[in-house]
C-alpha cells in the first residue's frame, strides 16, 4: 500500500482533526453570514433617510445654539461675569454650517467588495492557520504518544521518509482545504457585495492583488501547519507544540512587550511576532513613534516611522521553518533505522 495514501487516510480519519476543521469552517461561515446580514445595499431610500437624519441633527444643533446664546445674553444682562461658561461676546456663539452635518455619516453599513475583501482574507488566513498549526501538531503528536509511529516504523523502517511523507500528506491536505475554502469564501463575499453592497470598479489589477494576498495567506497556513508538525515531532507529543506557542505568546509577546515598554525602547511592535504576520499579509506595516518627532519644513511635528515589510517577515518565517523542521529531521535521523 502506498505510504502517502495511507497517511492521507490516517489524517482524514483522526476525529480531532475532523472536529477541529469543522469548528474552523463554522467560524468562517458565521463571519460570512454575519457580514451578509449586517450590510445592505445603498439606494435612493437609504440616501434620503440619511439626508433627513442629517437635517434633523442640524436643526437640533441650531436650536441648542440659540438657547445657549440666549442664556449668555441673559447672564451678561444680569452682570454675571464670574463664570467661564460663556465667551466674552455672546455674538460669537454661532451654529456650525449645514455642510458640517454630512449624510454619509448616517448611511447604513454597505460592503464594498473592492475596498473590504482584502481585509477578510486576513481573517480567513488567521482561522485556517490556527487550524493548521493545531491539526499538524495533533497529527504527528498523537502518533508518538500512542506508539503508532513505532508500529509504522516496523512496516517502513525509514524514519526520515516516514516523517516527510506524513508532512507531505498534511501539507497537501491543508493546500486542498485552503483552496476550496478560499473559493467559497470569495463566492460568499462576492454575493455579499452583489446583494448587500457594491462590486464596482473590479479590474484585473484588483483581482491580481487579491490573488497575491490569498497566495501569501496560503503560504502562511502551510508554514503554520509545518511548524506545528515539527514542534510536536521534536517533543514527541502534541502538548509541546501547543505549550511552546502558549509560552511564546505569553512570555515572548506580552512579557517582552512589558519589558521593552519599561526600557522605553522605540518601536516595540517591531519586536513582536503579530507585527510580522500582519506585514506578511498586508505587504507592509508602518510603525509610528510619537514620543520623538521630526519637524517638517512647515514646523509640523511628524512622528518617527519604521516600515516592516513582507520581505522582513519572509526571513523570519523561513528561519523558523528551517530551525523547527531541521531539528525534527535531525532528531529522527539520530535514531534512523535502515
Are the CB atoms for 24 and 131 separated by under 8 Å? yes
Please check the confidence at residue 86 and state whether its pLDDT lies above 70: yes
The pLDDT tens digits for 211-269 are 999 999 999 999 999 998 888 888 766 666 566 666 666 666 666 677 777 777 777 88
Q: Contacts by 325-331 with C-beta closer than 8 Å and gap 24+?
A: 325/167, 325/226, 325/230, 327/230, 327/234, 328/163, 328/229, 328/230, 328/231, 328/233, 328/234, 329/160, 329/163, 329/164, 331/233, 331/234
* Stronger pLDDT, 241 or 310, i.e. the higher one: 310
pLDDT tens digits, one per residue of 161-179: 888 888 999 999 999 999 9
Show the DSSP H helices in 147-305 as ranges.
Answer: 148-155, 159-196, 204-235, 238-247, 256-262, 273-282
Whether 60 has a pLDDT exceeding 60, the answer reads yes
pLDDT tens figures, 274-297 = 899 999 999 999 888 766 666 555
Does 332 score more than 70 pLDDT? yes
Three cell numbers written together for 239:
502538548
Collapsing DSSP states into helix, strand and coil, what is residue 78?
A: coil
Q: In a 10 Å sphere around its CB, with 0-12 CB exposed, 13-18 middle and 19+ buried, how is residue 72 labelled?
A: buried
- Which whole-number Å values give the CA distances from 42 to 22, 104, 112, in the listed order? 34, 11, 11
330 by Cβ neighbours in 10 Å (0-12 / 13-18 / 19+) ranks as exposed
Q: Report strand pairing: 284-295 vs 301-309.
A: antiparallel
| pLDDT tops 90 at residue 28 | yes
Percent helix, strand and coil across the chain, each to the nearest 5: 75, 5, 20
What average pLDDT does the structure give for the chain?
84
Per the model's pLDDT, the better-predicted residue between 109 and 243 turns out to be 109
**Cβ-based burial of 322 (10 A; exposed 0-12, middle 13-18, buried ≥19):** exposed
Amino acid at each position: 500500500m502506498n505510504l502517502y495514501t495511507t497517511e492521507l487516510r490516517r489524517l482524514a480519519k483522526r476525529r480531532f482533526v475532523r472536529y477541529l476543521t469543522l469548528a474552523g469552517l463554522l467560524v468562517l461561515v458565521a463571519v460570512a453570514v454575519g457580514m451578509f446580514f449586517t450590510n445592505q445595499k445603498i439606494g435612493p431610500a437609504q440616501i434620503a433617510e440619511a439626508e433627513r437624519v442629517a437635517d434633523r441633527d442640524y436643526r437640533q444643533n441650531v436650536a441648542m445654539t440659540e438657547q445657549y446664546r440666549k442664556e449668555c445674553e441673559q447672564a451678561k444682562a444680569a452682570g454675571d461675569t464670574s463664570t467661564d461658561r460663556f465667551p466674552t461676546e455672546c455674538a460669537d456663539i454661532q451654529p456650525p454650517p449645514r455642510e458640517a452635518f454630512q449624510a454619509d455619516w448616517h448611511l447604513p453599513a454597505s460592503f464594498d467588495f473592492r475596498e473590504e475583501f482584502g481585509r477578510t482574507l486576513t481573517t480567513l488566513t488567521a482561522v485556517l492557520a490556527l487550524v493548521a498549526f493545531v491539526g499538524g501538531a495533533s497529527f504527528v503528536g498523537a502518533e508518538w504518544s500512542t506508539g503508532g509511529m513505532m508500529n509504522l516504523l516496523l512496516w517502513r523502517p525509514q524514519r526520515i521518509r516516514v516523517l516527510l511523507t506524513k508532512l507531505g500528506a498534511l501539507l497537501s491536505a491543508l493546500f486542498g482545504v485552503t483552496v476550496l475554502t478560499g473559493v467559497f469564501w470569495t463566492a460568499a463575499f462576492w454575493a455579499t457585495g452583489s446583494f448587500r453592497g457594491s462590486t464596482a470598479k473590479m479590474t484585473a489589477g484588483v483581482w491580481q492583488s487579491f490573488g497575491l494576498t490569498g497566495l501569501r495567506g496560503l503560504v502562511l497556513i502551510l508554514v503554520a501547519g509545518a511548524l506545528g508538525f515539527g514542534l510536536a515531532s521534536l517533543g514527541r507529543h502534541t502538548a509541546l507544540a501547543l505549550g511552546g506557542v502558549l509560552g511564546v505568546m505569553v512570555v515572548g509577546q506580552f512579557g517582552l512587550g512589558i519589558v521593552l515598554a519599561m526600557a522605553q525602547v522605540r518601536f516595540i511592535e517591531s519586536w513582536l511576532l503579530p507585527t510580522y504576520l500582519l506585514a506578511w499579509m498586508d505587504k507592509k506595516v508602518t510603525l509610528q513613534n510619537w514620543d520623538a518627532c521630526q519637524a517638517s519644513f512647515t514646523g509640523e511635528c511628524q512622528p518617527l516611522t519604521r516600515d516592516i515589510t513582507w520581505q522582513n517577515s519572509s526571513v523570519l518565517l523561513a528561519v523558523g521553518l528551517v530551525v523547527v523542521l531541521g531539528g525534527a529531521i535531525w532528531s529522527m535521523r539520530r535514531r534512523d533505522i535502515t
